[in-house]
Structure 1
Amino acid sequence: MELRLGTRVIFPGAFTVMTEGPAEGADIAEVAADPEIVRAVRADPRAPVIAVTPSSEEQAAACVRAGADLLIGDAFAGVAAATGAALLCSAPERAVGVRPDGVLVRVTDPYEAERLAEAGRAVIVDAAEPAVASVFAWAGARVFRAADADAMRQVLDMVASIKGTRPPAVSRRGLA
């Protein structure tokens, strides 16, 4: 099943990079859960998907009204369900009432990532190391939280090329 974050759609097999704050090459930016900051980021026409980690349901609702696309935390399933925002949670059953294409599940185990991906769930991992990211990408994770968006994108492009879902950037086969 595709994952819908704001106006963006992430299909199974496609990879997305999430960073803290807006960064070059990032598809999702986690910003402070302040409606003013969310509005300022949203004002940029090239703004990525905006994620926030609110401290209360009221703050979560205010951030969604300001333009946040993704709420982080199991406690905000009710707000996500009521507003149509997406939810990043610890398990699919924590997302009661949230639209199915708006649920992103955080995992720490590649086997769990594979199981959830095979069930059609969108999976996010915190991938500090390229080798770890490549294992999770192969297992079916779609969203990767990283400090360096460009380096993560290179790893994910490599995995996609090996899996055959992306053509290689350069082909030198048969040149003798």
Structure 2
Amino acid sequence: MDLRLGTRILRPGQFAIMTIGLVGGADIAEVTADPEAVRTARADGRAIAVAPSSEEQAAACVRAGADLLIGDAFAGVAAATGAALLCSAPERAAGVRPDGVLVRATDPYVAERLAGAGHAVLVDEADPAVVSVFAWTGARVFRTADLDATRQVLDMVASIIGTRPPAISRRGLA
């Protein structure tokens, strides 16, 4: 199933990188759960995620332009406002639109099971080797501080699985 974050649609086999703060090249920026910070980040054009501390704060951030709420406790706000939700399990997202549910996975087996059931999966991982395993098993969103290495690994995996052409195509001649 597709994952819709604001105007961005992430299809199965496509990857996105989430960073804390406004890091150039990231697809999703996690910013402070403050409406003014959300409005400032919104001008940058990428999807905006927040980890609010209350339902009121979550609703205010969505009104300011946040696309993704982080935390099981905000399923009701996400359902009422149309925002996406990052949760710990699909059943925690009652009422949230199906293309707005992002589930956190902590091991590749769980990621593969969730992705196989049609759920969009997020992992927090910085090690490029582990990122490649999660990407191969179906995870789509990667929260990391090492944007360049993660992007390179995800581009490689996308080329191998056939959702992206290789950056360089050479024919081996002997």
- Measured against the shorter chain, the TM-score band is over 0.9
Contact 1:52/1:70 (8 A) holds in 2: yes
In structure 2, stretches of 5+ residues that fail to align are none
Q: Does 1:16 align with 2:1?
A: no
Equivalent residue, structure 2, for 1:65: 63
Counterpart in the other structure of 1:126: 124
Contact 1:87 1:95 in 2 (8 A): yes
* Paired residue type of 2:77: V
Q: CA deviation at 1:128?
A: 1.2
Q: Which residue of 2 aligns with 1:143?
A: 141
Which residue of 1 is the match for residue 5 of structure 2? 5
How far the C-alpha of 1:145 sits from its partner, in A, is: 0.5
CA RMSD of aligned residues (A): 0.9
Number of the residue aligned with 2:115 = 117
Deviation at 1:42, TM superposition (A): 1.1
Where do residues 12-161 of structure 1 align in structure 2 (5 Å cutoff)? 12-44=12-44, 47-161=45-159
Q: Provide the C-alpha distance between the structure 2 equivalents of 1:42 and 1:174, rounded to a whole number of angstroms.
A: 46
User: How far does residue 172 in structure 1 lie from its aligned partner after superposition?
Assistant: 1.4
Q: Distance in 2 between matches of 1:100 and 1:160?
A: 24
The whole-number CA distance in structure 2 between the counterparts of 1:48 and 1:87 is 16
For 1:43 and 1:171, locate their aligned partners in 2 and report how far apart those are by CA, in whole Å: 37
> What is the TM-score when the length of structure 1 is the normalising length?
0.96
Corresponding residue for residue 163 of structure 2:
165
Q: What is the number of residues matched between the two proteins?
A: 174
Deviation of residue 174 (structure 1)?
3.5
Instruction: Name the SS of the counterpart of 1:111 in structure 2.
Output: helix
Q: Is the 8 A contact 1:110 1:139 kept in 2?
A: yes
CA deviation string 1:152-172 (max 9, x = no partner) = 110100111112221111111
* Cα deviations by residue, 1:57-85 (Å, 9 ceiling, x for unpaired): 00000000000000000000000000000
The one-letter code of the counterpart of 1:15 is F
Structure 2-normalised TM-score?
A: 0.97
Runs of 4+ in 1 over 4 A off after TM superposition: none
Q: Is the CA contact (8 Å cut-off) linking 1:89 and 1:105 kept in structure 2? A: yes
Partner Cα distance (1:75, 1:165) in 2:
35
Distance 1:107 1:3 in 2: 16
Give yes or no for contact 1:122–1:142 (8 Å, CA) kept in 2. yes
The AA in structure 1 aligned to 2:126 is: A
Instruction: Provide the rounded CA distance (Å) in 1 between the counterparts of 2:43 and 2:115.
Output: 33
Q: Give ranges in structure 1 of 5+ residues lacking alignment.
A: none
